[in-house]
C-alpha cells in the first residue's frame, strides 16, 4: 500500500472528469480520487427518469455517501421541463447545489427520443426548459452540449438562448452528434462559441495526451477549464502532466497497480456476483490497457479470462511484465 499525499501546487487549469456512462461510475470516481489528486470536479454520468421516477440503476450513482470528492456535479438527461424539475428537486433533496444539463449525448437511442443532442435543433424548446428551471429552482445549472445534431450550425442558434440565462458554465464537445466520437472536432464551432458565448466556456473532446493539450491550449489560449474523458481513462496521469506534476516510472507503476487492485476490490464488494465483476473489469481494461506496451495483446488476454481466478492470474502476469 502506498501513501497518497495531497497536492498543494497551485495551478491555473481546472480539470474535470467527464461523465462517461459505464466507465466513470461511483466506484471509478471514488478510487480515482483516492489515488490521483489532480481532478478538480467530478461529473456523475447522466441520470434520467421513466414513468415519473428515477431509474433504479442510477440511484447508487447519486447517493451522497458515494460522492465524497471535493466537488461532484450530477448530470441529467431530460426531454422537457417537467423531467428537469423532477430530477433537480430530487438532487436538491440529496444535498446537491449544482447540476449539469446534458445536451450532448449523441447516441440515436437517446436523440431519437428528443433528449441529449436531440434537443439541439429546437432552440425554442431549450429556452422553455431553461426558463421553467430558473423560474422554479435555485440550483446552479451548467450545460454540456455538442456543436449540433446533424449540423454544427445548430450552435449558432443555441448560443443566444444560453446567453439569456445565468448558467455557471458551458462545456462544449465540438462534434455533431451524428459523428458520435469519430472524425475531426469541429473547431470552427468552438471558435464561434468562444467569440459569442457570454458564459465561461470549457473545452471537451479528443485531449488524449499532453501534446493534444498543448495543441488545443495553443489554439484557444483563453480556455482555462478542461473536461477530460477517454484521455483520463487511458492515462490516469494526464491531469498531472497538464499541471506539470511529474511521477517517476516506479511511482507510476505503484499507483497503476493500486488503482487497478482497488477498483477490482470495490467491484467485488459492490456487485452482486463474480460474473458481473468480471464483465466490469473487462470493460475497465478497454482503456486501462493503454498504460501497457502491446496494448492490444494485453486487452485480448484479459477478455479471454473465464472467471475471477483466471483474471487474477492474467492481471498478475500483466503487471509483472509491465517494465
What is the reported pLDDT for 71? 97
What is the reported pLDDT for 208? 97
Q: Is residue 5 part of a domain?
A: no
Claim to verify: residue 235 and residue 288 sit in the same structural domain: no
Q: Which of 196, 226, 242 is the last residue of a domain?
A: 242
23 secondary structure, DSSP code: T
d(CA 118, CA 109) in angstroms, rounded, equals 10
Range of the domain at 286: 249-320
d(CA 124, CA 164) in angstroms, rounded, equals 12
How many domains, in total, are found in the chain?
A: 2
Write down the pTM of the prediction.
Answer: 0.94
Residues 6 or more apart whose Cβ sits within 8 Å of residue 218: none
Claim to verify: residue 152 and residue 83 sit in the same structural domain: yes
Claim to verify: residue 30 and residue 56 sit in the same structural domain: yes
Q: Which of 217, 242, 267 is the last residue of a domain?
A: 242
Claim to verify: residue 142 and residue 277 sit in the same structural domain: no
What is the reported pLDDT for 11? 53
Claim to verify: residue 258 and residue 144 sit in the same structural domain: no
Claim to verify: residue 178 and residue 266 sit in the same structural domain: no
Which of these, 193, 76, 202, lies nearest to 140 by C-alpha position? 76
| CATH number of the domain to which 169 belongs | 3.20.20.70
Claim to verify: residue 235 and residue 141 sit in the same structural domain: yes
d(CA 250, CA 238) in angstroms, rounded, equals 17
Q: Is residue 1 part of a domain?
A: no
d(CA 219, CA 198) in angstroms, rounded, equals 19
283 secondary structure, DSSP code: H
What is the reported pLDDT for 8? 36
For cell 462534434, name the residue: 175
Q: Is residue 89 part of a domain?
A: yes
Integer angstrom CA distances of residue 235 from 84, 232, 286, 287: 34, 5, 12, 8
Cell of 320: 509483472
Claim to verify: residue 175 and residue 291 sit in the same structural domain: no
Claim to verify: residue 103 and residue 37 sit in the same structural domain: yes
What is the reported pLDDT for 5? 38
d(CA 173, CA 168) in angstroms, rounded, equals 17
Q: Is residue 3 part of a domain?
A: no
DSSP lists the bridge partners of residue 226 as 15, 203
Claim to verify: residue 253 and residue 201 sit in the same structural domain: no
Claim to verify: residue 215 and residue 276 sit in the same structural domain: no
Q: Which of 194, 227, 242 is the last residue of a domain?
A: 242
Q: Is residue 8 part of a domain?
A: no
What is the reported pLDDT for 186? 94
Claim to verify: residue 256 and residue 169 sit in the same structural domain: no
- In the chain (323 residues long), the average pLDDT of successive 10-residue segments reads 40 89 97 97 96 87 96 98 97 97 97 98 98 96 98 96 98 97 95 97 97 97 97 98 95 97 98 96 98 95 98 96 78
Amino acid at each position: 500500500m502506498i501513501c497518497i499525499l495531497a497536492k498543494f501546487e497551485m495551478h491555473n487549469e481546472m480539470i474535470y472528469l467527464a461523465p462517461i456512462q459505464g466507465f466513470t461510475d461511483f466506484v471509478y470516481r471514488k478510487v480515482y480520487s483516492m489515488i490521483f489528486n489532480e481532478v478538480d470536479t467530478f461529473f456523475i454520468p447522466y441520470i434520467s427518469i421513466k414513468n415519473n421516477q428515477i431509474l433504479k440503476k442510477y440511484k447508487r450513482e447519486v447517493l451522497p455517501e458515494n460522492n465524497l470528492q471535493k466537488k461532484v456535479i450530477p448530470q441529467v438527461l431530460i426531454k422537457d421541463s417537467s423531467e428537469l424539475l423532477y430530477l433537480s428537486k430530487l438532487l436538491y433533496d440529496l444535498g446537491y447545489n449544482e447540476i449539469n444539463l446534458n445536451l450532448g449525448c449523441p447516441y440515436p437511442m437517446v436523440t431519437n427520443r428528443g433528449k441529449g443532442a436531440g434537443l439541439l435543433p429546437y432552440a425554442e424548446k431549450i429556452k422553455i426548459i431553461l426558463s421553467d428551471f430558473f423560474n422554479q429552482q435555485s440550483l446552479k445549472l451548467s450545460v454540456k452540449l455538442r456543436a449540433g445534431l446533424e449540423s454544427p450550425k445548430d450552435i449558432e442558434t443555441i448560443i443566444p438562448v444560453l446567453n439569456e440565462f445565468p448558467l455557471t458554465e458551458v462545456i462544449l464537445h465540438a462534434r455533431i452528434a451524428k459523428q458520435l466520437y469519430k472524425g475531426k472536432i469541429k473547431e470552427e464551432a468552438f471558435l464561434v462559441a468562444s467569440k459569442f458565448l457570454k458564459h465561461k466556456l470549457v473545452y471537451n473532446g479528443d485531449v488524449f495526451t499532453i501534446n493534444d493539450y498543448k495543441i488545443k491550449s495553443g489554439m484557444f489560449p483563453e480556455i482555462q477549464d478542461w473536461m477530460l474523458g477517454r484521455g483520463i481513462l487511458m492515462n490516469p496521469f494526464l491531469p498531472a502532466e497538464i499541471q506539470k506534476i511529474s511521477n517517476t516510472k516506479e511511482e507510476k507503476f505503484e499507483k497503476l497497480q493500486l488503482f487497478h487492485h482497488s477498483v477490482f476490490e470495490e467491484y467485488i464488494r459492490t456487485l452482486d456476483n463474480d460474473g458481473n465483476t468480471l464483465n466490469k473489469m473487462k470493460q475497465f481494461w478497454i482503456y486501462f490497457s493503454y498504460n501497457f506496451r502491446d496494448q492490444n495483446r494485453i486487452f485480448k488476454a484479459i477478455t479471454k479470462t473465464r472467471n475471477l481466478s483466471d483474471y487474477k492470474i492474467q492481471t498478475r502476469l500483466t503487471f509483472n511484465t509491465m517494465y
